Every structure is written in C-alpha cells, then in structure tokens.
C-alpha cells in the first residue's frame, strides 16, 4: 500500500496520468492531491497548504479545478472551522481507496488531528513512509480478515542507514478512554512484536491518563507526546 502523499505505483499512476475529463486533463500533481485527501478520508485547506506548499490565491485555483471536474466535494461541518474536502466516487476512482461516505462530528475532529500528526511526522522524518487506518482496513478486507481487532491510527515506517527498519504504531487520542479499555489496548500492543514502539499524541490531560496506564516497563516501548508539540 502506498504512503500518504507518495506516488502511486508506477503502473497505477501511469494508467491515470493524462486522463482526459471535460475541460481538463489530470496531471501528476492532481493525482497526488486526490491520493493524499483520500488516504485520510478528508482534509481542510490548511492541511493541503502544508502538504503541497500552497499559498493564496493559487491554493483555491487548484482546488476549484478539481471541484469543477466533480472529483472533490467541499463541505462545511462546523461554522467556526475550515470546510473540508473529500473525494467523490468519481475522484476516488483515481486512488486506491473508496470515497468516504459520511463524516461524524467525532470522526471530524479525530481525523483532522491524525492528519496534523502525519504532517508533523512527515516534516520530522521526510524519508519515512506512512500507512493510514483506511489503508489498513482495506488490507484486512483484502486478506479476508474482516474489520475486527484493534488498528492504530497510522503506522510510521522509519529506516536509517545501518539500522534495522522500525515500524511505529501511531495513536491519536483526543479524549480519555475508560481505564480498562486503555489498559487492554496497551496490553495488546505489548504482544505485537512487529512494532518497535507505540507513539501516543494527545492533549496533556489525556497524555497523563495514558502514562498512568503504562507502567515502568511499558514506558520504554510506549512514548507519549502532547499535541501542543505539533503546534509549536
């Protein structure tokens, strides 16, 4: 599965590149935008700006082009927040994932936070690859495993010269889970030997709860970061 914002497999990208739509022709950049948005399901304009280095007015000119071709949908979820962009079924046809069918208030806040964490990690580890929860779900269905079982919000694949590649589970928690549920997830992670570490990104009050459920031994395996670190 491709990493977020990375190029599609050469055969898939080559098949879509140059596809002619009424009044436009898809470019490499267009396909990267569609892939990035659909990897997370949806995103807001500031996230597109951060990912692709856009500024006004060019940002809205690019998005308007994709909206006009019926590849994107723009929706306002909360009055005081940025609207979000997600793919139409037609737009999703140029990516590896289906279009997101609906957005709940809880998924809205959480998904935007996950995308912000990804953008932070991408900047800090530019050579790393990322697998989103949506990609993991598709892989599980493709393997005939269904939807059961815990999945992290993302997996970061780190590689360093002369060192063993690391697979990092990334969790973004905006609210405290029940103590039993949180301890169950942490216990599950300690049995997953393919993960080098688990990184939690949370508001400080939630971070304190996660740390309280870890224990001394698990603190070497599970790292907890405040979401304030991303904004700083």
What is the pLDDT averaged over residues 139-144? 62
Tokens describing residue 191: 């049995």
Domain ranges for the chain, please list them: 10-172
Distance from C-alpha of 217 to C-alpha of 220, rounded to nearest angstrom: 6
Per the DSSP assignment, residues forming a β-bridge with 51 are: none
For residues 68 and 106, is the Cβ–Cβ distance under 8 A?
no
What is the pLDDT averaged over residues 118-136? 95
User: Which residues lie closer than 8 Å to 228 by C-beta, 6 or more apart?
Assistant: 204
Residue 143 has pLDDT above 90, yes or no: no
- Quote the pLDDT of residue 20: 60
- Quote the pLDDT of residue 46: 96
Distance from C-alpha of 139 to C-alpha of 49, rounded to nearest angstrom: 29
Residue 17 has pLDDT above 70, yes or no: no
- Quote the pLDDT of residue 213: 76
- Quote the pLDDT of residue 105: 86
What is residue 218's DSSP assignment? G
- pLDDT one-digit tens code per residue, 77-111: 988 899 999 999 999 999 999 999 889 888 899 99
Tokens 């779900």 correspond to 137
21 three-class SS: strand
- pLDDT one-digit tens code per residue, 73-82: 999 998 889 9
- Map 106-147 to HEC letters: HHHHHHHHHHHHHHHHHHHCCCCEEEEHHHHHHHHHHCCCCC
Distance from C-alpha of 14 to C-alpha of 27, rounded to nearest angstrom: 10
Distance from C-alpha of 44 to C-alpha of 207, rounded to nearest angstrom: 25
CB atoms within 10 A of CB 163: 8
Tokens describing residue 136: 């993991």
- pLDDT one-digit tens code per residue, 38-48: 999 999 999 99
| CATH architecture, range 10-172 | Orthogonal Bundle (1.10)
- Quote the pLDDT of residue 208: 85
Distance from C-alpha of 194 to C-alpha of 75, rounded to nearest angstrom: 39
């Amino acid at each position: 599965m491709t990493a977020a914002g990375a190029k599609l497999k050469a055969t898939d990208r080559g098949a879509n590149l140059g596809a002619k739509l009424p009044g436009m022709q898809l470019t490499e950049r267009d396909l990267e935008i569609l892939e990035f948005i659909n990897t997370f399901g949806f995103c807001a304009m500031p996230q597109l700006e951060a990912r692709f280095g856009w500024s006004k007015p060019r940002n809205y000119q690019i998005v308007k082009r994709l909206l006009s071709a019926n590849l994107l949908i723009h929706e306002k979820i909360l009055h005081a927040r940025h609207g979000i962009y997600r793919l139409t079924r037609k737009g999703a046809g140029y990516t590896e994932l289906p279009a997101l069918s609906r957005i709940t208030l809880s998924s809205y806040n959480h998904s935007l936070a996950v995308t912000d964490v990804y953008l932070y990690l991408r900047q800090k580890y530019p050579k790393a690859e990322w697998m989103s929860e949506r990609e993991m779900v598709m892989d599980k269905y493709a393997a005939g495993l269904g939807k059961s079982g815990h999945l992290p919000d993302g997996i970061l694949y780190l590689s360093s010269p002369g060192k063993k590649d690391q697979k990092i589970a990334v969790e973004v928690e905006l609210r405290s889970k029940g103590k039993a549920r949180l301890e169950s997830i942490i216990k599950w992670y300690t049995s997953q030997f393919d993960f080098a570490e688990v990184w939690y990104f949370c508001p400080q009050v939630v971070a304190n709860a996660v740390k309280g459920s870890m224990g001394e031994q698990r603190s070497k395996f599970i790292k907890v970061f405040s979401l304030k670190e991303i904004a700083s």
